[in-house]
Every structure is written in structure tokens, then in C-alpha cells.
Amino acid sequence: MFVRLADQHRQFVQDLVLSLKALAVVLEKRGYLASCYTCGDELNSASFMVSLGGDHLIRFLVSDYGITWTEMRDDRELMKLEGAEAISQLQELANIIKYQVSPAEAKVVA
């Protein structure tokens, strides 16, 4: 049972990393400053960042060790979420793209 759960978790992390890479590409095409970095070809971790303008920065980290969402403004941490809450906040960011909100209109994600 635990081996199966470990395999499912690894697959989940890989899917999330691929989604983050795609999200960064789409955000860049929409005019946002965004990046997604991974270590190696195994897709077992990623660092995703996007600037929403006005010194408003989102950082999303994913690895086998955990998932975190950090929102900052003017170099100060506003919010830090982990796990399912972090992923829910990531969905809110994806909604910006879905509804084609421009960077100037994207005031607050949270």
C-alpha cells in the first residue's frame, strides 16, 4: 500500500511541475513576468514565480517535501500557504489567465 501511495505522490508532483511550467509560459505570453525552474529531468521539484506588478510577487514551490505558496508585496511576506490551500490559491492565479485579466488589472490574487 505505501509503495503505491509513494508512486502516486511522485506522479502528482510531476503533474504539478508540468502544470507550473505551462502556467509560466502562458503568463509570459499574457505580459506577466513569470518563470518556472526545475532541477533535472525527473520533474520532482519546481520553483515558480510571477510578478503581478507593483512589487507584488507570487512564489510557488513544489517538491517531494511539500508545497508552498508565498505572496509578497514590497519585499514583505503577506501570506504563506501550504498543501491543498496553496494549490487552491494557484487555481485563483490560473483563473487570471482563464478570464484574460491583464497585469494592470490583477491587483490581488488572494
What is the full DSSP assignment across 50-88? EEEETTEEEEEEEETTEEEEEEEETTEEEEEEEHHHHHH
Instruction: Supply the DSSP symbol for 46.
Output: E
Task: Give the domain ranges of the chain.
Answer: 2-98
Instruction: Report pLDDT for 110.
Output: 47
Question: pLDDT of 7-32, one tens digit each?
Answer: 999 999 999 999 999 999 999 998 99
32-57, pLDDT tens digit by residue?
999 999 988 888 999 999 998 889 99
102 compared with 24, residue with greater pLDDT: 24
Percentage of residues in the chain having pLDDT higher than 70? 90
Q: What is the pTM of this model?
A: 0.84
